Structure 1
Amino acid sequence: MSVHHSRSIQQEEHRFQGKPAWLDSFLSKTFFDICPVHDHCTNVRNRYCINCNLAVCQNCIASGSHNGHNILKLYRHVYKDVVSVNDMGNYIDCSKIQPYKCNKLWVFSLKPLPHKESGFQADAEHACDYCRRILSDPSLHRYCSLDCKVKAFSRKAKGSDPPFLAVRKRAAAANDDENAAVNREAEEGKRNKRKGTPLRAPLF
């Protein structure tokens, strides 16, 4: 293997294991306040422009100043900011984060959601790995919010903490290709399956 090829692989692996530069800023933004640019319209800033690192409103988007930019739309769920599972999954690895249902839309919470009583549970097997809040399905999820996974990534105190946050595009593409191939084989199997010769009941 050449030195150049080895360096390219190392750079790609580092990119897979890294954290997007905009992520911390996104999680620290204030949303759903009045847009200072379009305050006469009483529009709230419920969108985030990744390219500009700005919280913006729908009029900011309509003005054309963010054409071609990557935009995340924010929603409110139990008084907390949430983002679509599908949208967020395009930019970071969201595995092991607990999703929530918000008006028929699956979302991730930016910060831990409020829970009944204290929101904490002593049983580590049923709690968020970072903030210790209760998880609805700990067999599938380890974090109750995006912020908890990001902080666990930054801490990396345990071997079980997430090794990466950036989307693993190459691996994801490979999985998509594999799934597509399996689906094609299944469809071909259905088309080529011939009806067997029926067996007659024995005569007595």
Structure 2
Amino acid sequence: MSTTSNEVMQKVDSVFQSQSFPKWVGSFLEKAFFEKCPSHDLQKNELNRYCITCDASICRYCITSGCHNNHKILIIYRYIYQNVVPLKEMAIHIDCDKIQPYKSNKKQVVSLTPLRHSGSGSLIECAATCNSCKRKLTDPDRFRFCSIACKDEVVQPNQSKCEGAFQHTEGTSQQKDKIEQPNPSRRKRSRKGVPHRAPFF
């Protein structure tokens, strides 16, 4: 990339960092969906809704029971085995500008997390990729991110937390490596012995 394009990208990033997402977005992205509802042992009780007011993943029976009356609720769909939300519904609550939408059942949806790589060339370093995870974008002139999580990472960077967690996991993995490295001179089991051919008759 040239120096001018780097400067443009830095300006774009600074604009995104000046914006902010509501606090519930981080919690929303960590929720598990499409599991069985623990409160309702009925058919079709998947947790495919999110109550913003209660900060909880809920099922259709949770809503009909009246526990979430007048609450803000998002419906979660599946697209290529990933959780997505309708763009129109999500745009009411957060700024979905620059997030690449996808079409699912004739609806524009945005992915909660990055979609899986579709091929070997989908993770590349160039201007036509997501600013966060480097996945290919269909229209890089209009979009900068492939998912809500990627934009959230740029808008509200938790780099210090991530670095601390990475250092912690790296330290523990190094300790495990030291502990788990077997002594080459000692074997748990003895060798079977010298193999012998069966006699020919």
TM-score w.r.t. length of structure 1:
0.66
Which residue is equivalent to 1:112? Answer: 114
Query: After the TM superposition, which residues 135-154 of structure 1 pair with which residues of structure 2 at under 5 Å, given as runs?
Result: 135-154=137-156
Task: Return the alpha-carbon distance in structure 2 between the equivalents of residues 51 and 28 of structure 1.
Answer: 16
Tell me which amino acid in the other structure corresponds to 1:102.
Answer: S
Superposition CA RMSD, Å: 1.8
Which residue is equivalent to 1:62? Answer: 64
Task: Return the alpha-carbon distance in structure 2 between the equivalents of residues 156 and 61 of structure 1.
Answer: 33
- Residue by residue over 1:110-133, the C-alpha shift from the partner in whole angstroms, topping out at 9 and shown as x without a partner, is 011113214634342110000000
Which residue is equivalent to 2:77? Answer: 75
Task: Return the alpha-carbon distance in structure 1 between the equivalents of residues 127 and 20 of structure 2.
Answer: 27
Structure 2 portions without partners, runs of 5+: 1-17, 160-201
Structure 2 residue matching 1:20: 3-state secondary structure: coil
Q: How far is 1:21 from its partner?
A: 1.4
Task: Return the alpha-carbon distance in structure 2 between the equivalents of residues 121 and 56 of structure 1.
Answer: 34
Task: Return the alpha-carbon distance in structure 1 between the equivalents of residues 53 and 121 of structure 2.
Answer: 35
Which residue is equivalent to 1:130? Answer: 132
Structure 2 counterpart of 1:98, from 93, 97, 100: 100
Task: Return the alpha-carbon distance in structure 1 between the equivalents of residues 64 and 70 of structure 2.
Answer: 12
Structure-2 change in CA distance of 1:156 and 1:23 (3 Å): closer
Structure 2 residue matching 1:23: 3-state secondary structure: helix
Which residue is equivalent to 2:10? Answer: none
Q: How far is 1:51 from its partner?
A: 0.3
CA contact (8 A) 1:119 1:133 kept: no
Larger radius of gyration: 2
TM-score w.r.t. length of structure 2:
0.67
Task: Return the alpha-carbon distance in structure 2 between the equivalents of residues 155 and 42 of structure 1.
Answer: 37
Structure-2 change in CA distance of 1:139 and 1:17 (3 Å): closer
Q: How many positions carry a matched residue from both structures?
A: 142
Q: Does 1:19 align with 2:21?
A: yes
Tell me which amino acid in the other structure corresponds to 1:149.
Answer: K
